[in-house]
Amino acid sequence: MIFCKKLNKEAEPLGFAPMPGELGERILQNISAEGWQLWIKHQTMLINEKHLSLANPETRAYLTGEMEKFLFGGDYDKVEGYVPPKNENKL
């Protein structure tokens, strides 16, 4: 178990660093599997709604910055006009 900085609670850890380098290790040490899944869901919405191309290096840099803000606190981009259903779970 780790203390997840995204969820502010003890939770199951990731089994591996989700990306290489210092940021990947920081995520592994501080973000739970559940917190990471929340990011994957949010990232997918950003890619789809903003019509982003992962082939573009600027898009990848944008998503990395948004990931850091989303996981560790900050004013991250939200999908404009999206309202989650009232009964939607975190995952």
Query: Which CATH number does the domain housing residue 8 bear?
Result: 1.10.3880.10
**pLDDT beyond 80 at 87:** no
CA atoms 46, 52, 54, 56: torsion sign: negative
Q: What confidence score (pLDDT) does residue 86 get?
A: 74
**CA-to-CA distance for 78 and 70, rounded, in angstroms?**
10
Q: What is the mean pLDDT of the chain?
A: 91
- Nearest Cα to Cα of residue 38 among 81, 9, 62, 61: 9
User: Is 44 part of any domain?
Assistant: yes
User: Is 87 part of any domain?
Assistant: no
**pLDDT beyond 90 at 34:** yes
Confidence class of residue 82 from pLDDT cuts 50, 70 and 90?
low
Confidence class of residue 18 from pLDDT cuts 50, 70 and 90?
very high
The percentage of the chain sitting over the pLDDT mark of 70, rounded to a whole number, equals 89
What is this structure's pTM? 0.84
Number of domains in the chain: 1
User: Is 81 part of any domain?
Assistant: no
Confidence class of residue 80 from pLDDT cuts 50, 70 and 90?
confident
User: Is 61 part of any domain?
Assistant: yes
Range 47-66 average pLDDT: 96
User: Is 90 part of any domain?
Assistant: no
What is the residue range of 31's domain?
A: 2-72
User: Is 37 part of any domain?
Assistant: yes
User: Is 32 part of any domain?
Assistant: yes
What single-letter amino acid sits at 62? Y
